[in-house]
């Protein structure tokens, strides 16, 4: 049977990256061809290690993992252990992986797979966009070779989270984000406007814990760290935003946005207070967003608000791996 | 009796500037010491001429009008006849004024009156902030000499109107706006987030027309041009935002904001897509906006939505001039 989506997942694994991977891995109709890693929540090498741990927990050590950019284009990367824990996975002590990352660098892998599978691959990017931008520099025809790009990132009518203006993935490499968002491929951007409205709560965590499979127990344990951060710094209660899992669910068609106009998007790359802001032209908001010439970014401004329920359902429903090792 | 507020109104008159002036002039407890003009909706000289016409219509030719900045700091001003009509007042052919502007330049007048009336003056700025910034350069102690500054401008969780990121008053001189917003005076900023939610409609226009005083007939006639613009470009129906009148009403205490946190505000002054964006730190929105050290800008994010009713009431209630000529 044809898979419903053939993905390369580019991530900085990360608590919510791990949840996104686990969510996708439980759907037998989703074909993850490779995972590429980038600095962001954690360094790119640890992100690859974390990814392998998560893939093995889900019974999929066969999926290749490639390490990508270790720093952004200006060379000032920093990580977020205060959000994701010192290990990036909420200090959960998941067993060390038996598999190892492939030797091929992330951007080269993306270009190679796109050439081998023209108009087939869906790139799901849930970290800084350095790998995708590098891939576009390696192969300027890349935007015509991939089917779609879904990106978790940005903040439009919502404040940033890394700075008052900028969301963390974009803030971590605004130059790369500008390259990717202004390249001519069809993009779905899932910004904070949508993800902050999709909250996973202690109720979901309890359900994951009580289900008690290795996957759900791990997810529940990670959420402790995530809730600690969100309680003190964001929501003031023990809940968290479903950033990366929501982008994953939108990429594979599980979630249909409530409001998602196709609009022009650019990124501010100054060194001023707006650095890293995603400037989307949503001025048509009072007139049902009239069409804009040459716009090619679908910006998800609103989703239904009940995605965490679906996420918990998916993780809890079937404790067996969704796909055999090849 | 002590006036409830002693104002200098700095404006680029302008349909909604004219409405703001008429609104204020009908309150006998508001003392307008001077009006200063700036380029923006129209050129600064025409703005002064328009202001004098409006003051004379309201029976107040005694209020001094001073011409200010004819261009922004980068020398690339442009005006908005497509919004406000070729004359800036909706092509209403109000009689030419008998009074003339004073010789003193706007910024000098602001500094002089502030020195003469320390801790007394409330600056209400509803155009580009070039005059206020110039006044701060002339007198660095100015922020300590005025009582308060209320500014119509900016867009926080709302799209811009001049560009996707920037509201027109800020966009017209981002460098000046940054100077003013980061000076240490107490500021109330009234951005599009608030003003776009306060709409004057055809119902209000009908009431103004039927009341039939010179002031209300003029207001109703101006609204034709304003509604033309808003119908085609903003709301898709014949209504318009109460930008400047709302800021005026907030300045004199007639309208109490529903949501107005005191937060850090800066302005992006790059030449990138974020130029002119007002970057306000509203990341505390999920936690009732915890206090921020050194923040001194009260940002009005939400008002009640029924201000146009008050505006129409004020203009219609009493057809006689609110104050005699001195």
- Distance from the Cα of A60 to chain B's closest Cα (Å) equals 38
Which residues make Cβ contacts (< 8 Å) with residue B118, sequence separation at least 6? B145
Q: What is the pLDDT of residue B21?
A: 98
Using CA atoms, how far residue B144 sits from A159, B115, B149, B189, in Å, is 31, 10, 11, 18
- Which member of B158, B266, B267 has the closest CB to residue A157? B158
Number of helical (H) and strand (E) elements in chain A, helices listed first: 13, 12
pLDDT value at residue A4 = 83
d(CA A110, CA A90): 29
> For B5-316, which CATH class?
alpha beta
Taking CB atoms and an 8 Å limit, are B277 and A274 in contact across chains?
yes
- Quick check: B212 contacting A, CB < 8 Å? no
- Is there a contact between A281 and B234 if contact means CB atoms under 8 Å apart? no
Task: Indicate yes or no: CB of B283 within 8 angstroms of CB of A159.
Answer: yes
Which of A193, A268, A285 is the mutation pick for testing B, counting most B CBs within 10 A? A268
Is B272 in contact with A273 (Cβ distance < 8 A)?
A: no
CB contact under 8 A, A164 and B236: no
So where are chain B's domains? Answer: 5-316
Quote the CA–CA distance of B51 and B244 in Å, as a whole number. Answer: 14
Residue B323 has pLDDT above 90, yes or no: no
State the nearest Cα–Cα gap between B54 and chain A, in angstroms.
31
Tokens of A36: 């590429």
d(CA A232, CA B15) in angstroms, rounded, equals 46
Q: Where are the beta strands (DSSP E) in chain B?
A: 5-11, 30-37, 65-67, 121-125, 148-152, 187-190, 199-201, 239-241, 262-263, 265-267, 278-280, 297-299
Span B132-177, pLDDT tens digits: 999 999 999 999 999 999 999 999 999 999 999 999 999 999 999 9
**Cα A191 to Cα A14, A257, B76, distances in angstroms:** 17, 12, 34
User: Could you tell me if A158 lies within 8 Å of chain B, comparing CB atoms?
Assistant: yes
**Looking at CA atoms only, how far is residue A112 from chain B in angstroms?**
33
| pLDDT for B75 beyond 60 | yes
**B162: closest CA of chain A, how far (Å):** 10
Give residue-wise pLDDT tens across range B213-237.
999 999 999 999 999 999 999 999 9
> How many angstroms separate the CA atoms of A75 and A73, rounded?
6
B290 lies within 8 A of chain A by CB? no
Assess A232–B contact: CB distance below 8 Å, yes or no. Answer: no
Q: What is the rounded average pLDDT of the residues B290-295?
A: 95
- Reported as a pLDDT band with limits 50, 70 and 90, residue B4 is confident
Nearest to A237 by CA among A225, A249, A229: A229
Question: Is A84 marked active-site?
Answer: no
User: Contact B236/A286, CB-based, under 8 Å?
Assistant: yes
Task: For chain B, say whether A47 makes contact (Cβ under 8 Å).
Answer: no
Q: Which of A166, A77, A104, A173 is nearest to A133 (CA)?
A: A173
Four-residue CA torsion sign, B29, B262, A195, A223: negative
CB-based contact (8 Å) between B245 and chain A? no
CA distance B57 to B84: 19
**Do B113 and B137 form a contact (C-beta atoms < 8 A)?**
no
This complex has an ipTM of 0.93
Residues B51 and B255: beta-carbon distance below 8 Å:
no
Tokens of B113: 């009156």
Residue of B nearest to A267 (CA): B273
Q: Tell me which residues of chain A have a pLDDT lower than 70.
A: 1-3, 318-326
Q: DSSP alpha helices (H): ranges in chain A? A: 15-25, 44-57, 81-84, 106-116, 130-138, 142-145, 168-171, 174-181, 192-195, 202-211, 214-233, 243-251, 307-317
pLDDT exceeds cutoff 90 at B23: yes
pLDDT tens digits for range A43-78: 999 999 999 999 999 999 999 999 999 999 999 999
Give this prediction's pTM.
0.95
B211 CB-near residues (< 8 Å, 6+ apart): B217, B315, B316, B319
The alpha carbon of residue B166 is apart from the nearest alpha carbon of chain A, in Å, by 10
CA angle B78, B174, A295 (to 5 degrees): 75
Q: How far apart are CA A237 and CA A255, in angstroms?
A: 25
Report the distance separating Cα B296 and Cα B267, nearest Å. Answer: 14
Mean pLDDT score of chain B, rounded to an integer?
96
Closest Cα to residue A44, out of A148, A174, A131? A131
Angle, in degrees to the nearest 10, between helices B214-233 and B44-57? 140
Does A279 sit within 8 Å of B266, measured CB to CB? no
At B79, the pLDDT band (50, 70, 90 cuts) reads very high
A160 shares contact with chain B (CB less than 8 Å): yes
Q: What is the pLDDT of residue B320?
A: 46
Residue B103 has a CB neighbour count (10 Å cut-off) of 9
Q: Which two tokens stand for residue A238?
A: 């023990």
């Amino acid at each position: 049977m044809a898979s419903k989506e053939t993905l390369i997942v580019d991530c900085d694994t990360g608590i919510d990256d791990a949840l996104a991977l686990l969510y996708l891995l439980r759907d037998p109709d989703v074909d993850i061809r490779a995972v590429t890693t980038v600095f962001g929540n954690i360094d790119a090498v640890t992100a690859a290690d974390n990814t392998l741990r998560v893939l093995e927990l889900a019974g999929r050590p066969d999926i290749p993992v490639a390490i990508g950019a270790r720093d952004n284009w200006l060379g000032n990367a920093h990580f977020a252990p205060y959000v994701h824990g010192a290990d990036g996975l909420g200090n959960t002590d998941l067993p060390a992986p038996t598999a190892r990352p492939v030797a091929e660098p992330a951007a080269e892998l993306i270009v190679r797979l796109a050439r081998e599978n023209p108009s087939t691959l869906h790139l799901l990017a849930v970290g800084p966009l350095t790998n995708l931008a590098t891939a576009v520099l390696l192969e300027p025809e890349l935007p015509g070779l991939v089917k779609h790009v879904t990106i978790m990132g940005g903040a439009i009518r919502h404040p940033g989270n890394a700075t008052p203006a900028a969301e963390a993935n974009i803030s971590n490499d605004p130059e790369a984000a500008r390259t990717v968002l202004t390249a001519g491929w069809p993009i779905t951007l899932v910004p904070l406007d949508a993800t902050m409205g999709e909250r996973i709560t202690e109720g979901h965590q309890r359900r994951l814990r009580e289900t008690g499979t290795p996957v759900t127990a791990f997810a529940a344990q990670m959420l402790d760290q995530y809730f600690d951060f969100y309680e003190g710094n964001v929501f003031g209660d023990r809940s968290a935003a479903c950033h990366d899992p929501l982008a994953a669910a939108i990429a594979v068609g599980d979630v249909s946005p409530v409001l998602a106009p196709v609009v022009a998007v650019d990124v501010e790359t100054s060194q001023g207070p707006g650095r890293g802001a995603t400037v989307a032209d949503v001025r048509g908001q009072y007139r049902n967003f009239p069409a804009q010439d040459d716009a090619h970014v679908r910006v998800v401004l609103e989703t239904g608000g009940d995605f965490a329920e679906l996420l918990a359902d998916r993780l809890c429903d079937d404790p067996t791996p969704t796909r055999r090792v090849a």
